[in-house]
């Protein structure tokens, strides 16, 4: 009896399982998409800060346009150190 029922309804059962799988996959993709969007928004502020740091370091000179102190001194100066 059960075997006959399963045999007659197997396509309906598999269609239901595949529909459930598609719905679950869609919900997962939407959730991952929202997480990636939030992550990219938070990384944008870091990217803006890094660009400003790179620009400051590139434009910062120590004495008569010569880099006498090196990158650490420029970074220190760009982050509020010095006079």
- Residue-range domain boundaries for the chain: 2-78
Q: What is the pTM of this model?
A: 0.48
Comparing C-alpha atoms, which of 50, 71, 51 is closest to residue 60?
71
Per-residue tokens: 30? 């939407």
Distance between CA atoms of residues 75 and 44, nearest Å: 21
pLDDT above 70: percentage of residues in the chain: 88
Which tens digit of pLDDT belongs to each residue from 1-37? 778 877 888 888 889 999 999 999 999 999 999 999 8
């Amino acid at each position: 009896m059960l075997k006959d029922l399963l045999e007659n309804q197997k396509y309906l059962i598999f269609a239901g399982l595949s529909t459930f799988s598609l719905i679950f996959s869609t919900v997962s993709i939407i959730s991952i998409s929202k997480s990636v969007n939030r992550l990219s928004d938070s990384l944008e502020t870091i990217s803006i800060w890094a660009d400003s740091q790179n620009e400051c370091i590139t434009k910062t000179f120590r004495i008569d346009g010569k880099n006498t102190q090196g990158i650490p001194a420029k970074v220190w100066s760009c982050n509020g150190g010095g006079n």
